[in-house]
Amino acid sequence: MKSLINRLTEQFKVSLEKQTKSDLCFIRVNKDDAEQLIRHCRDHESYTHLSFLTAIDRIEDNKFTLTYLLHNYQSHQSLGVHVELDRENPVMHSLHRLWGQMATYQRELKEIYGIEFPGSPRLNDEFFLEGWDQIPPMRKEFSTVEFCEERFPIREGRQSTDAKQTMKVEIYPGRGE
C-alpha cells in the first residue's frame, strides 16, 4: 500500500498514521480536504466501496476523530481516512453525494455523538433512539450508569455484598476497631 500512500501524499495534504496490517492502513487529512481526497480514492484508486463511517470521542484531547473506511475490491485492501473535528463545535462536510448510504451513517453520528453534517438528507430524523432527550449517548460525558439508575429500577431481590466487610467478618473478626 506504500505506493498508494506515496501517490496520495504527492497530490494531497495527507499523512500516514499507521499501517496496522498488510492490507489496511490509516491516513489523516484535514476536514476541508477530505472530500476531494476520498473522491479521488473512489474514482482513481478503485476504492469504490464505503465500508463504514464512524467516530471516536477523544474527550481528553477535546476532539472527535471521524473514520471513513474505504475498500478496494480489486486489491482487497482497505484504507481508513481519519478526520479530526473540534469537539466543542463538531461540524463536517456532508459527503452524501459520494455514496448514498453516507447519509445514513451521518444521521447515525448526528444522533449518537451530536456531530453536524449540514445538508445531509434527513439528518435530524430519529435514527434508532426514540424520544431521546439527553445529551448524545456515545459522548463520553454521558453516564450510562446514571441513566440506567434513573430510568430502570433495580430488579427486586438484588443485593450486592461488600468484600471488605465480608472479609473482616470471616477472616479477622474482632481485630482492629
Q: Does 171 bind another protein (CB under 8 A)?
A: yes
Q: Does 135 bind another protein (CB under 8 A)?
A: no
User: Smaller CB distance to another protein: residue 58 or 168?
Assistant: 168
Give the shortest CB-11-to-another protein separation in angstroms: 36
What number of other Cβ atoms are within 10 A of residue 20's Cβ?
11
172 beta partners: none
Q: Per-residue b/e over 51-68, b at no fewer than 16 CB within 10 Å?
A: eebbbebeeeeeebbbeb
- Whether 64 contacts 87, CB under 8 Å: yes
Give the shortest CB-170-to-another protein separation in angstroms: 4
Number of H helices, E strands in the chain: 5, 5
Give the shortest CB-158-to-another protein separation in angstroms: 6
Helix axis angle, 34-44 to 2-11, nearest 10°: 130
Size of the site for another protein (CB under 8 A): 27
Per-residue binding letters, 142-161, with another protein (x by CB under 8 A): --xx--xx--x-xx-xxxxx
Give the shortest CB-163-to-another protein separation in angstroms: 4
- Binding interface with another protein (CB under 8 A): 144-145, 148-149, 152, 154-155, 157-164, 166-177
